[in-house]
Amino acid sequence: MSQAASTSSGPDDTDTTAKAAAENPSPQTMATDEKVVPMNKQTSVGSSSEAPTEKTSPTSTPATAQSAPGPTGVPLYVRINKFLTLVGLTWFVPLVSMAGGENPKAQFRELFRIIGVPVLFFLVFLAFWDWGAAKIQTSLGAVPGPTAVWSEARGLLEEHDREREKEVAFYERQEVRNAKKLEKNPDAEIKIRPYTGKPTYLDQIVTSLYTVFTGFVLATLLAVPVGIICGMSATINTAINPLIQIFKPVSPLAWLPIVTMVVSAVYVTSDDSWFEKSFLTSAITVTLCSLWPTLINTSVGVSSIDKDLINVGKVLKLKKSTQITKIILPSSLPLIFTGLRLSLGVGWMVLIAAEMLAQNPGLGKFVWDEFQNGSSHSLGRIMVAVFTIGVIGFLLDRVMLTLQNIFSFGENKV
């Protein structure tokens, strides 16, 4: 019986001993635990048979190649979505998310909201345009509808192809003529005359882009340094602010005659001139009208920097140039890029009016020439130019938004 009693009381004694050991661990036990825990971790990681299995719900989707984690542990479709957000192509984010295995119903609703709704509204706009265009008669005939405008766009592209064929034939004739001349006289002087055909619609688009970027770059080089100076010094900001408020609302039509007279008096053209007067007039007009948003936003961005950062630079005895490049510019980049986006939009809008009056061979001159032409195709071609100007303006804004996301500090980094 004593053996039975001792046997029956064994488990209770064992439990009591285990509890006492858990409550008051000895140094040897603690040392043993510290050695055992890392070994258990290594064992659990290394052994695949003892790895815990994850329960999947009936509604879970199988892992796909898109949802597989990349080298950094982030699923591939998430990285693609970040890149699409970075470049401003958020319309395709739901498609990539659906391919990555996210909730198809929610992604389809989001896809319909950001793509389907705008497309449906655009189709309604086209239907209303087609219905209303036939009811308005002008001196040049009825207002062209969507079909007529599309036909004119195709006609402009065909004209471009024909003009390129003429240009190729022109240079081929020159090569044949020069080859014959060299056969007769190897020492004869050879001249390659440039093609003087009229610029096509695509050529005029390139000219407008070149002009607006020239004016935009000049405005940026002038506005950013002045804005930094105004933001760093309240006295200079107070002195320059009245001039900014006076010249900021001036129309390009008011600047253009002044710029035209100044360029004509200062710049003399010749056969070796780099730029035409009409190009300089348009570019400088764009500069004068587009520099103000960048200047104002740069000044606000610099003046709103945390003063502790400036004080740290002073304590470290950094040079002014080092403070500007290491502290001021990185901290004010978001507002600077906001000003650059606004300036580029203003410059593109101003350019069309400047090219109309300065006769720079761009989209503005194209619209003016078609208006003066007065043919049955003029209204349709002007409508093509209107859509072209709008689409290019939208793309320019997307480019600036992408650059802003790349150089700013946010969550959209890839």
> pLDDT tens across 306-355, in order?
888 888 888 888 888 888 888 888 888 889 999 999 999 999 999 998 99
In a domain, 104, yes or no: yes
Q: What is the DSSP string of 6-74?
A: HHHTHHHHHHHHHHHHHHS--HHHHHHHHHHHHHHHHHHHH-STTSPPPP--TTPPPP-TTTSB-TTSS
Identify the H or E element spanning 138. Answer: strand 137-138
Cα 23-27-29 angle, rounded to 5 deg: 70
Whether residue 219 sits in one domain with residue 355:
yes
Same domain, 391 and 260: yes
> So what's the pLDDT on residue 41?
39
For residues 230 and 338, membership in a common domain is answered with yes
Residue 88 lies in a domain: yes
pLDDT tens-place values along the chain, 414 residues long: 344 434 444 444 444 444 444 444 444 444 344 433 444 434 333 333 344 444 444 444 444 444 455 555 778 878 887 888 777 777 788 888 888 778 888 888 888 888 889 999 999 999 999 998 888 887 777 789 999 999 999 999 999 999 999 999 998 988 888 888 888 888 878 888 888 888 999 999 999 999 999 999 999 999 999 999 999 889 999 999 999 999 999 998 899 999 999 998 888 877 677 888 889 999 999 999 999 999 999 999 998 888 888 888 888 888 888 888 888 888 888 899 999 999 999 999 999 989 988 888 899 999 999 988 878 888 899 999 999 999 999 999 988 888 888 877 654 444
Same domain for 242 and 380, yes or no, is yes
* Residue of 321, 346, 158 whose CA lies nearest to 248: 346
Distance between start and end Cα atoms, the chain = 77
Could you give the C-alpha distances from 320 to 224, 237, 313, 326, in angstroms and in order? 16, 18, 9, 10
Whether residues 105 and 232 share a domain: the answer is no
183 within some domain: no
Residues 93, 217 within the same domain: no
Mapped onto helix, strand or coil, the DSSP state of residue 101 is coil
Residue 180: HSE in the Cβ half-sphere, 13 Å Cα cutoff? 5
Q: What is the CATH number of the domain that holds 383?
A: 1.10.3720.10
Residues 226 and 365 in one domain: yes
Structure tokens at 361: 């061979």
| Residue (of 315, 400, 381) closest to 152 by Cα position | 381
Q: Give yes or no: residues 126 and 266 share one domain.
A: no
Q: Are residues 240 and 332 in the same domain?
A: yes
- Evaluate whether residue 266 is within a structural domain: yes
The whole-number pLDDT of residue 236 equals 93
Contact 77, 388 (CB under 8 A): no
Stated length of the chain: 414
In a domain, 228, yes or no: yes
86, 113, 133 - which closes a domain: 133
Among 114, 133, 152, the domain boundary falls at 133
Question: What does the pLDDT read at residue 85?
Answer: 79
Identify whether 274 is part of a domain. yes
Print the domain residue range for 283: 198-407
Q: Do 349 and 265 form a contact (C-beta atoms < 8 A)?
A: no
Cα separation, 387 vs 391, in Å, equals: 6
Q: Which residues pair with 137 in a beta bridge?
A: 142
Asked if the structure places residue 46 within a domain, the reply is no
Closest by CA position to 345, among listed 401, 408, 278: 401
**Residues 303 and 228 both lie in one domain:** yes
Say how far apart CA 205 and CA 80 lie, in whole Å: 32
* pLDDT score, position 363: 93
Per the structure, how many domains does the chain have? 2
Among residues 118, 109, 337, 119, which one has the least CA distance to residue 220? 337
Number of Cβ within a 10 Å radius of residue 215:
28
Non-local CB neighbours of 398 within 8 Å, separated by 6+ positions = 87, 88
Residue 221: how many CB atoms within 10 A of its CB?
Answer: 12
Q: Which of 393, 413, 392, 391 is nearest to 402 (CA)?
A: 413
- Examine the domain organization and report whether 112 and 256 are in the same domain: no
- Helix ranges (DSSP H) in 267-328: 277-303, 307-315, 320-323
- Is residue 89 domain-shared with residue 226, that is, in the same domain? no
Of 100, 115, 133, the position where a domain reaches its end is 133
